[in-house]
Structure formats: structure tokens, C-alpha cells
Amino acid sequence: MAPFNYAKVLMALALAVVLSPLIKQAKTSLEMIGFGRTYFNVNTTSCRQIGHGVLQGCEDIIVDPHTGLAYLACGNLAARQRWLTPGDAYDVSRETEMDRVYVMREDDTYNVIQLLEETAVGTLIPFSQSLRLHGFDIHWDPANPQHMTFMFVNHQPGHAAVSIFTYAHGANYMVHVETVATDLLHSPNNILAMSQRAFYATNDIKFDHHIMRTLSTNMRLAHGSVVYRNETGSFSVALAGIRYPNGIARYKSQIYVASCSDPSVHIYRANADNSLELQGRTIFPDSIPDNLFVDPQNGQIYATTFLKSRETHKLFHNPSLETSRIAGTRILRLTLRNDAPSFDIESLLVDSGELMPTATIAAVQRRNQIQRML
């Protein structure tokens, strides 16, 4: 019998320890990009397109729980690709019109809500600042829910910002209150309104430069953060070290954050200093979550996820109103478990790319005895 070679065994064990996390990360990355996977449509036969050619680039949808009206933040696809990657040269020639906010009823009718600002003498004029909409949220006045505060992530040239407007239910316009920016708000993706002034916002990544953003994203580094703005206008980091945080939402005392590079939804509790404390999370093995919608009736979360992130990335940089047939979308419904801070997951819909190139949000609309998903 050959003598036992302890050195080779130790070397093999050391190599296994080193390679194991790398292999695991590579496996996760392949699952994230949808490598080798084929998807078939599930529950899409009753779906239809609304506002084709008009309602495009609608990143986020908020449904008013009091009226059932749906509000959409939309923008031109050709222009949108020019600011999705901060730090790149911006081509203003692609921007033929300002992004728009729509209100939609249950019968598929919709109209634009004008964005206005007030002059020094009290006259209302069109909003004069740049407007490139990403995620947004609404705060309803507890004393009068017909008075609403809209908070929009606004990718203005040279810096990102949050633009805040007031709106009265039924009006065809909203009025600008303020636009806020800070170095802490360097790459905002989505926002959670806590009051008429306070909010949480996700910074999806740390770097502005395209090369560093690409490296950080592809290596799945934990360079994202969540910032908090308080009632006095001061900013602080509520959460650091999260992989590409995207959608953010809440139900009662819990705050939910979707992580793209670590495909999952995290559950947080806000501390007295407004920092966020992790309570638990649920991992998605084969799809990447974008925005989150919380059903106000029962707290269930609707997560819209990408099935093939590489194809989705291609689509974002060469957007089209036509279908790609390759990117794919899955809509998941998450129900909070009673026995642990995690979720039971149901797959409600799978679109292989034939119905829509991709999707970023799914919202439940209930109005006049009609219930549907947008």
C-alpha cells in the first residue's frame, strides 16, 4: 500500500475551501442570467396590452388604496437608455419630450397629470427642471387621503435627485414642492415615502463610472445602500452593504427591499434612529426581483422578476416596443409566514418574452368591483 500523503490531502482540502465559494458564486451567476434555461408562458392568455406606443417605459405603478386609481411614471424608451447608466455621456438629442405621469382607471382609460411649479407671484407654470423618472411613491395625508404627496426619483443631468409634488385627488395637475439632492443619494433607484418630507431611497450601486459599475454588478459586490431623509431634510445612511438594492416597500412596521445581485427580498425593521435592522430574507434561485408592490388589504408582496438578466440588460440598452421573445418575466406573490421572518412564494405568471419584452412592476388594482393586475 502506498504511503498516505498528508500534504496532498491538505492541499486538496485547502483548494476545496478556496474554490467552493467561487463555484457557488459562478453557479448563482449562471442561474441569474438564465443560462441554459427555457421558459414557457404561464397564465398569460387573459393578458392584454394597454396604451401601446403611449404608455412606454413605465418603471413604476402605485395604486391608491382609497380610490383604486393607478398612477404610472413613464418615459420615452429611446431617451431612457441614455441615463440608466450614470456616468456615461448623455445624448440630449434623444430626449424629445419630458417624462410623464399618468392616472389610469379600471376601464383602461387614462390621462396625463401635468407637473407644474409655482412662480414667485403665485402663477402656475410647467415644471421647468429636468425630469427623468425612475421609482416613485405616494404619501397620503392621514387627515385627508385625497391630499397626496408624490416623491419621484429624478435622474437629472450631473446628479440624481428626488422631486416632490403635492396633488389633490381628481385634479389634472400636481404642484412642485421641492427637489432634493445630496452626495448620499448618488444612485437612487426606488423610494419609500414616510411622510410629506421623510423617505427611504435605495442606492443600487456605489459607483458612477460605467466600468466600475459593471465590475461591481458582475462581481455581485455589496456596494448598495439605503438612505433616509428625515423631517428636517437631513440625510443619513440607514443601511449599507447590500447587493444592488432595487425596489422598496412597506407593510405596517416592516420594510421590504429587493436585492438584484443577491436575488432576494429582505425584511427590515426601522430602529429609533431610522436605521434598518435585518429580520430575515427570502432567496429567489432563478430570477431577479425589481420593484415590489404590497397589497394593502393583506400585506402580500408582488415581486416582478427578470428571468434572463443578460437579455434584459441588452434590452435596456437597445429598447423596443416590440417583443424580444427572449428576456422573460416572472411575477411572484410573497406571503409572510407566521412562524419565521420569511415568505411563502407563489409563481403567478411567466412570460417568456412573447407578451412583453420585460417588466419592472406588477400592481393589483381594485375599483368598481373589478380586480386586475397591471
Rounded Cα distance between 322 and 269, Å, is 41
Position 119 scores a pLDDT of 93
Quote the number of domains for the chain.
Answer: 1
- Asked whether residue 6 is assigned to any structural domain, the reply reads no
pLDDT digits (tens, 9 = 90+) for 108-145: 999 999 999 999 999 999 999 988 899 999 999 999 99
pTM, full prediction: 0.86
pLDDT of residue 210: 60
Residue 245: pLDDT over 60: yes
Tell me the CATH number at 182.
2.120.10.30
Q: Is 239's pLDDT higher than 70?
A: yes
DSSP 8-class letter at 163: E
In a domain? residue 285: yes
β-pairing verdict for 329-336 and 264-270: unpaired
- The pLDDT-based confidence of 221 (bands split at 50, 70, 90) is low
Does residue 166 form part of some domain? yes
Out of 64-68, 194-198, 335-339, which region has the weakest mean confidence (pLDDT)?
335-339
Burial of 190 (0-12, 13-18, 19+ CB in 10 A): buried
- Opening angle at CA 135, ends 327 and 118, nearest 5: 145
Higher pLDDT, 251 or 11: 251
Q: What integer pLDDT is reported at residue 324 of this predicted model? A: 56
With respect to residue 24, please indicate whether it lies within any of the assigned structural domains.
no
Secondary structure class of 130 (helix, strand, coil): coil
Give the mean pLDDT of the chain.
83
Distances (CA, A) of 35 to 32, 259, 287, 289: 8, 20, 11, 17
Q: Is residue 254 part of a domain?
A: yes
Residue 133 contacts by C-beta under 8 Å, 6 or more apart in sequence?
A: 59, 60, 73, 74, 75, 99, 101, 152, 153, 154
Q: Is the pLDDT of residue 268 over 80?
A: yes
Tell me which of 49 and 28 has the higher pLDDT. 49
Q: Is residue 354 in some structural domain? A: yes
Its domain, for residue 115, covers 33-373
For residue 6, pLDDT beyond 70: no
Residue 3 lies in a domain: no
> Is residue 11 one of the residues assigned to a domain?
no
